[in-house]
Structure 1
């Protein structure tokens, strides 16, 4: 860690900073420049991170040399992680040159409807079936999901079509139940910083799909992943699903640059979700292909066979035939950059 002192810092203040650092059992290396004085701090990282060094008079800022997300960083794991979802021949892989294809409706509405959608996406090349049994909705009057009945439907349909399944946990009290039925647990954008929920999910042995919060930076996303990793669960897949912007032309602003940025910082796989990012079916294909070209380790697409009748997010869903066309295009881009689905 580097402590950068103010230009106006007095010798007494500088000495006090050095004394404070040494009192904590850390080593201080003083470097005086023409205009600035910098103190390098070496020692126990936990002590360094928790000490309020920026509050000492004369200190301008404190800069971390090592990232705060130790387990998620490339320093801890130089090679890209590969996360497998499901078991055996039906397992889907994310990362390390593998692209996972997640698709399905926003909400599980009925066994018959999910069965039809699952058959279509499997034929198109999807590798993971998604569907919400618990739905965190902006309005308390909107459809909240079928709960455990929805989980049973998702599991049965996934098994029928040979697809591993992912669904969202929105409450720490539901984590054990969701883990029982699913192959992967999703943490939605609204819960990216629900640290109690992150901790509970981190205690499970199921892979985790973590979506970026609507107002979260990439580093915020990394720190949330650190919560899950710190509980002993190493299988985290990050998801760029758009952040809030000033332009209302799209549902959110699709930050495709987050994909290479995460790969620069972390060993964890990252996928893109252009459905939530744009909210507009006509924009989803282009954004999905851009994400894959940027290096995404997977694509998350909402698909519904009758969007006008959907109980949640119908306007942003692709029809099965549209998804099939997009999946074929994604495969071509993946091949062009040396990745496999």
Structure 2
């Protein structure tokens, strides 16, 4: 009989209890906490960081619906202090009849808004064939919950040098999640950020069940940064602020929050989206919590910042020059 070898396997063999020992490698060797001496800090071209002293704030609409809608959202989240603009161009919807996104037109809008308001851009990529296209506009590629184990997609983003936001699968264990990250690192891309967004449970009181305990747990298990998406975890806008605050207090390196200028009329996920005023209020509440956790909210860099005085006049916002991000 052949067994995976325990630490004392030579003694077992000598005693005749096993025929042969087989050394089984660690299942996730590259993402392990002790795989490197320091913790990974993922930096976007915009200057936003994940894993350092700042709490990265990624905010924006679930889906890009129009240039006007995105302009209003980007202006508001930048003024409130966010440093990354989120928005869906390609939407993985449960129903084929739901809004599927505007595709490359939305990518162009995201890039324009990000440059205008000094925000990094994170957006989801769903198909390996779209990675190069999305990478031309985005600063960070998001792998959504439905694609956490889309192995061809993981390999494709692993072959880039683009920062990747890897969401936990809706029913994934922590080990499965880390193994998905291992696929990306194995391809040579070490710029990976993990995102806890809740898992499916028997309880339907909230959209998902947020596993906030995974934040300090992953701090021990991996060198990769971890952020939290309270919007998809709760599915109810009024519950997003307290969960966002709790996540930062637990040690999350960032938040992914849905913000829409008119949530009741949003084409997707309006029920869980904060309006612009609610997001601004949340940011005020987060500042002392981040300090308590030994971090700080993002600094608005002068050459990129949009002040509260000029958000009413978007033409006065500073444009940042940027060339498209290409695959390595």
- Pair in the same fold by TM > 0.5: yes
Is 1:83 the counterpart of 2:64? The answer is no
Computing the radius of gyration from Cα coordinates, the structure with the larger value is 1
Contact 2:2–2:21, Cα closer than 8 Å, also in 1: no
Unaligned runs of 5+ in 1: 1-15, 50-66
255, 262, 269: which is aligned to 2:218?
A: 262
Q: Which residue does 1:30 correspond to in 2?
A: 11
> What does 1:1-341 correspond to in 2, within 5 Å?
16-17=1-2, 28-31=9-12, 48-49=24-25, 67-87=26-46, 91-341=47-297
Q: For the residues of structure 1 that align with 2:261 and 2:105, how far apart are their CA atoms?
A: 21
In structure 1, the residue corresponding to 2:156 is in which secondary structure?
Answer: helix
RMSD: 2.1
Q: For the residues of structure 2 that align with 1:221 and 1:299, how far apart are their CA atoms?
A: 18
Contact 2:230–2:243, Cα closer than 8 Å, also in 1: yes
CA change 1:274–1:39 in 2 (3 A) is farther
Q: For the residues of structure 1 that align with 2:20 and 2:292, how far apart are their CA atoms?
A: 46
Please give the per-residue CA displacement for 1:187-214, whole angstroms capped at 9, x wherever unaligned: 0000000000010011111100000000
Which structure's relative contact order is higher, taking Cα pairs within 8 Å and 6+ residues apart?
Answer: 2
Contact 2:86–2:123, Cα closer than 8 Å, also in 1: yes
CA change 1:116–1:72 in 2 (3 A) is same
Q: For the residues of structure 2 that align with 1:68 and 1:229, how far apart are their CA atoms?
A: 13
Unaligned runs of 5+ in 2: 298-328
In structure 1, the residue corresponding to 2:10 is in which secondary structure?
Answer: strand
Please give the per-residue CA displacement for 1:151-171, whole angstroms capped at 9, x wherever unaligned: 001001110111110000001
How far does residue 78 in structure 1 lie from its aligned partner after superposition?
3.5
Moved over 2 A (4+): 37-43
Q: For the residues of structure 1 that align with 2:56 and 2:225, how far apart are their CA atoms?
A: 10
Q: For the residues of structure 1 that align with 2:139 and 2:287, how far apart are their CA atoms?
A: 24
How far does residue 96 in structure 1 lie from its aligned partner after superposition?
3.1
In structure 2, the residue corresponding to 1:98 is in which secondary structure?
Answer: coil
Contact 2:170–2:199, Cα closer than 8 Å, also in 1: yes
In structure 2, the residue corresponding to 1:75 is in which secondary structure?
Answer: helix
Q: For the residues of structure 2 that align with 1:340 and 1:213, how far apart are their CA atoms?
A: 29
Q: For the residues of structure 2 that align with 1:124 and 1:334, how far apart are their CA atoms?
A: 15
